[in-house]
Amino acid sequence: MQEIIFIDEGSFPTPEGVTREWVQGAAENRDEDEKLFSIIREAFQIKIDAGVQVPTYPQFRDMIGQFFDIIKDEKNCHEPYVLKEERATILELEAIDEVAKQYKIETGKTLEVRVCIAGPTDMYYQAFGATAFVDVYDILAKDIEKFIKQAFKTAKNFKIKVIALDEIGLGLNDKIQFSDDEIISALTVASTFARQQGTDVEIHLYSPLKYELICETPINVIGFEYAGNPSYIDLLDRKVLEDSNTYAGVGISRTDIFSLISIVNEKYGINAWKDKEYMQKIVTELETPDIIKKRLETAYSVLGDRIKYANPDCGLAFWPDQKLAFRLLENTAKAVNEFNVERINNK
């Protein structure tokens, strides 16, 4: 029986005293690598300590900008937007390699990692808007493949378990003018190499509205935000997933921090942004292991063993601090672990 694996979605709060703007500047200029890499490593270790089985490198930068800034820089390209493969690097993977090396020393096991990369559709739309230039869309898909190839070269002390393409707008943004066939082609280009390595390729969607289109690509895991939007699971047909050998990655803990804080504010008649001790109510009352586990049980009653991964709905970049983000990850880990144990015991 396959256990459900706990992954996270990537982004994380910066430590106190460090802004996302500073991280962006340090990543661009590479003049403070020691401090930058230390911040990345510490956040990555926090995820491991919280119980994330397949952690994503910590994302402190804009998801699309992190990749497109490299692509649009002429010195990185053979011709406009045609990226040189050696330039398609993810510096965060350099940073976490040291953590993975220590993990191997301490546990005797190779750490499995999730690598998240902006998908071609979201990247194209942010960069070029609604006008559809299919040739450029295809070039971006090939650039993403280059980032994936370089990621595998970087992975010396860890194993890439999941390559995730972040496509939040796909199925929601009605301004995207590409046809289904063109989207299938771009996603196929972006995902084929990773699948050839035996790695799971996940597409992280907000809504699984276009999931049947995804089932026609090499992508084999459809991740969607279920905790905050339980009705999304009704969009999926388990038989379609089975027939295409596609799995689900289900968001089982809420990450919409502003809504969660509003619930706390209304319940207690306070402003949790000022009365910060009330922030803990999010992880002690709203997103507890029991509540999170019940969501997973409900999702499993619909999709069964088509669920391969469970995770928070989205990233945690805008959570108030790393301690609260740690508690959500820890609660989610407990929920997944308890669910797996109960499944085994009930067999």
Higher-scoring residue by pLDDT: 206, 173: 206
Q: Report the distance separating Cα 291 and Cα 289, nearest Å.
A: 6
Residue type, 74: E
Domains and CATH numbers, the chain: 5-251 (3.20.20.210)
Residues 84, 78 contacting (CB under 8 angstroms): yes
Sign, CA dihedral 57-63-64-68, equals negative
30: left (phi over 0), alpha (psi -120 to 50) or beta: left
Higher-scoring residue by pLDDT: 332, 171: 332
**Which pair of tokens denotes residue 70?**
């490299």
| 171 pLDDT tier (thresholds 50, 70, 90) | low
Q: Directed axis angle between helix 120-128 and helix 180-196, to 10°?
A: 130
Average of pLDDT values for 238-251? 97
Average of pLDDT values for 247-251? 97
Higher-scoring residue by pLDDT: 177, 43: 43
- 261-314 pLDDT tens trace: 999 999 999 999 999 899 999 999 999 999 999 999 999 999 999 999 999 999
Residue type, 192: T
Of the given ranges (109-118, 138-147, 293-302, 336-345), which has the lowest mean pLDDT? 336-345
In the block, residue with structure tokens 């096991």: 109
At residue 345, the pLDDT reads 85
Single out the residue of 336, 344, 314 nearest to residue 164, CA to CA: 314
At residue 119, the pLDDT reads 95
Mean pLDDT of the chain: 94
**Which pair of tokens denotes residue 177?**
């003018």
Residue type, 180: D
| 2 pLDDT tier (thresholds 50, 70, 90) | confident
At residue 268, the pLDDT reads 94
3-state DSSP: the chain helix, strand, coil percent, rounded to 5? Answer: 55, 15, 30
Kindly give, in sequence order, each residue whose CB lies less than 8 Å from that of residue 171, ignoring residues fewer than 6 positions away.
Answer: 205, 206, 207, 208, 209, 210, 211
Average of pLDDT values for 173-186? 86
**Which pair of tokens denotes residue 308?**
């391969």
- 57-108 pLDDT tens trace: 999 999 999 999 999 999 999 999 999 999 999 999 999 999 999 999 999 9
pLDDT above 70: residue 173: no
At residue 150, the pLDDT reads 97
At residue 15, the pLDDT reads 96
Output the pTM of the full model.
0.94
Residues 124, 137 contacting (CB under 8 angstroms): yes
- 133-154 pLDDT tens trace: 899 999 999 999 999 999 999 9
At residue 210, the pLDDT reads 85
At residue 174, the pLDDT reads 65
Q: Report the distance separating Cα 24 and Cα 181, nearest Å.
A: 35
